[in-house]
Amino acid sequence: MSRIAGVRLATAAAGIRYKNRDDVVLFELAQGGTCAAVFTRNAFCAAPVIVAREHLAKGPVRYLLINSGNANAGTGVPGLRAARETCRLLAGMAGCAMSQVMPFSTGVIGADLPVDPFAQAIPGLLAGLDEDNWQRAAHAIMTTDTVPKLATRALSLSGGDVVVTGIAKGSGMICPDMATMLAYVATDAAVPATDLQTLLGRAVDTSFNRITVDGDTSTNDACVLLASGASGIVIDDLDGDDGQRFAAAVAEVCGELAEMIVRDGEGATKLVRIRVESAAAADEAAAVAYTVAHSPLVKTALFASDPNWGRILAAVGRAGVERLDVDRIRIWLDDVCIVEGGGRHPDYTEEAGQAVMKRSEILIRIDLARGAVGTEVLTCDFSYDYVKINASYRS
């Protein structure tokens, strides 16, 4: 991983839920850096989401304090009190304002967050801050993830070189309505806060907001973009060549992390791209793509490598698209056309469909023949292990 000058990280084993592993992460942003973030739209958003929003709105952010194993969600006033107390503890030891700390949590919903482990861990976190701790941080934020998720890009701009690096966690309860479970991206470029927020919103819309594992939007979703400015390279014109190239790098990092989340979906055995073409509007393209992606019947057929194309057809038909002309729709499994003229393509064979469904990566392409708008959603199959993992998650 490429380090980011001006961004230091540390991890600690606080024992909040997990034993004998790091479960708390601290990010430190250099003085003068900027921060942007997007959060879940779930009405039952977690206490740390509420506090993080409040603190981001108040001004410059210096620290991100993250814990895994306990979501501090559905915890009411005590949860808010705990989230604020962790910020107060860190601020007192770091010598900054409490509002300069943004808290984040992920894990079991409905359990009270203990504060004492933070008080014990924070001194070590501050002492252990280092620019090279990205790998350790990626491990520490994991819950049901089976692998850490990291991505990086280096690019040369007209004024010099900059780096974009990010980590993420998430493998279940993934249907982001803003971002993923948790994602943290940083750069050494100098970017005004308003531009940084614009960049992040655009990147999230084409990456984290286009993935789904199980259709569940978490209470704790958050995605943060930090800009330290340590490189001295200023990005203040998003429409200029440098601005566009930098934005593309941020989007690529987010896209790579988003794909890693789907590949690591709980019990997933296949990565599935659902591409909708020739829709009349963006919302109907997304509606069709997500209806197919969320269908348990489609997802279980994918796991079984069963070319049961009727399930895909049925999902498209119930996506809520008004005045849908089914006779004009065409559907493919990779390069095999399975539906045309309102039914099975005349050249389709079960053997051809089976060959595609046995692959570890599959493209389902749907042509609505209604316009010129398209979208792509990443998802995965449903296996026996998805049920096992989620049935025993709290035990």
- pLDDT single digits (tens) 115-124: 999 999 999 9
0.85 exceeded by pTM: yes
101: in domain: yes
Strand order from edge to edge, sheet including 330-333: 343-344, 336-340, 330-333, 361-367, 271-279, 373-380
pLDDT digits (tens, 9 = 90+) for 159-216: 999 999 999 999 888 888 877 689 999 999 999 999 999 999 999 999 999 999 888 8
Do residue 111 and residue 209 come from a single domain?
A: yes
Q: Which amino acid is at 179?
A: A
Write the CATH number for 314. Answer: 3.10.20.340
pLDDT digits (tens, 9 = 90+) for 54-108: 999 998 999 999 999 999 999 999 999 999 999 999 999 999 999 999 999 999 9
The CA distance from 104 to 321, in Å, is 38
Do residue 373 and residue 240 come from a single domain?
A: no
Tell me the catalytic residues: 180
1: in domain: no
Phi, psi of 155 (to 5 degrees): -145, 150
Write the CATH number for 66. Answer: 3.60.70.12
> Hey, what are 319's tokens?
């996506």
Q: Is the pLDDT of residue 394 over 70?
A: no
Burial of 170 from C-beta contacts in 10 A (0-12 / 13-18 / 19+): buried
Mean pLDDT calculated for residue range 243-261: 97
Which of 199, 228, 263 terminates a domain? The answer is 263
> Hey, what are 386's tokens?
């998805």
Which of 246, 263, 280 terminates a domain? The answer is 263
What's residue 214's pLDDT?
A: 85
Mean pLDDT calculated for residue range 264-283: 94
Do residue 292 and residue 251 come from a single domain?
A: no
Tally of domains within the chain: 2
- Max Cα distance, the chain (Å): 72
Range of the structural domain that residue 325 is part of:
271-391
What's residue 215's pLDDT?
A: 85
Candidate from 66-70, 215-219, 243-247, 359-363 with smallest mean pLDDT: 215-219
The CA distance from 121 to 11, in Å, is 9
C-beta separation of 236 from 195 below 8 A: yes
Cα–Cα distances (Å) from 325 to 160, 272, 279, 370, in that order, read 53, 25, 12, 9
Query: DSSP label at 19?
Result: S
The CA distance from 59 to 100, in Å, is 7
* Residues 6 or more apart whose Cβ sits within 8 Å of residue 108: 17, 69, 70, 71, 393, 394
Do residue 241 and residue 297 come from a single domain?
A: no
The CA distance from 360 to 357, in Å, is 8
